[in-house]
Amino acid sequence: MSSLRGPNALATLLGALSKARRGERLFVRIRHGPGAHLVNDHKPLIAFTTGSGIAPLRGLLQARSAIAADRPAASKMMELKMGKTSREDSISLFLGFRPGDADIVAESTHEALALELVDMLHLTPSNPEKNRAQDKIFKEGVANQIRNKIRDEGASVFVCASKEAADDFARNLEAIVGVKSIREVLGERWVEEVYVFTEA
């Protein structure tokens, strides 16, 4: 049994699967990604994804939605009576995607939106003007909310994108929060899954 890691893991896995015979048993172990602890975190979440980065976020949104849907109605009513107008586990989404993936993005966010888990949704399909999802945090009113979520509410940040886009998003957050390295300041609250394109 071998363990697949690194940039060639997917190609190795696909090669092995293509050689498997119909009916043959395959033993696969899937390990939790670095963002697994965010599922049960009751703090705000700021998520930035581009391209295929929607897949890990989709799993995270589904898990948080299941937890929210299972919360007793009594606790929801108590929050309303206490005057809580915002959720402590709110999610701010900044998503970049190809126009052909719009249905996947809509399906991935639908339940979390219906359960009112999402307080911000910024969608940026690929476009000729080169507007980028990572720059949406500079929109009027958004920067202050993001700064407050990180500084005052202890928000975690989940990034799943190309290295270049992840670095751009980090620089933008550094400008908003006023720190030299957002990754260092947030420590375990910064969760990053970077994908790299390689040619076979």
DSSP secondary structure letters along 137-193: GGSTTHHHHHHHHHHTT--EEEEEEEHHHHHHHHHHHHHHHT-S-HHHHHGGGEEEE
Among the ranges 31-45, 60-74, 82-96, 130-144, which has the highest mean pLDDT value?
130-144
**pLDDT tens track for 47-66:** 999 988 888 899 889 988 88
Cβ of 21: how many Cβ atoms within 10 Å? 5
Residue 9 belongs to some domain of the structure:
no
More confident site: 83 or 130: 130
Q: Global pTM?
A: 0.76
Residue 147 belongs to some domain of the structure:
yes
Please state the φ and ψ torsions of residue 194, each to the nearest 5 degrees. Answer: -105, 135
Sheet holding 190-195, edge to edge: 118-125, 91-97, 45-50, 156-162, 190-195
Domain, as residue range, for 128:
34-195
Q: How many residues are recorded in the chain?
A: 200
**pLDDT tens track for 161-178:** 999 999 999 999 999 999
CATH number of the domain encompassing residue 80 = 3.40.50.80
Whether residue 186 contacts residue 170, with contact meaning beta carbons closer than 8 Å, is answered with: no
Q: How would residue 71 be classed by pLDDT, with cut points 50, 70 and 90? A: confident
* Overall average pLDDT of the 83-96 stretch: 77
Tokens of 18: 């293509």
Q: How much is the pLDDT for 18? A: 77
Residue 50 belongs to some domain of the structure:
yes
Q: How would residue 25 be classed by pLDDT, with cut points 50, 70 and 90? A: confident
Reply yes or no on whether the pLDDT at 116 is more than 70.
Answer: yes
Cβ of 144: how many Cβ atoms within 10 Å? 10
The proportion of the chain whose per-residue pLDDT surpasses 70, expressed as a percent, equals 75
Residue 137: alpha-carbon gap to chain centroid = 15
Residue 3 belongs to some domain of the structure:
no
Q: Rounded distance, CA 141 to CA 130, Å?
A: 22
Residue 112 belongs to some domain of the structure:
yes
Domain count, the chain: 1
Residue 5 belongs to some domain of the structure:
no
More confident site: 197 or 131: 131
Q: How would residue 12 be classed by pLDDT, with cut points 50, 70 and 90? A: low
Secondary structure letter of residue 88 according to DSSP = T
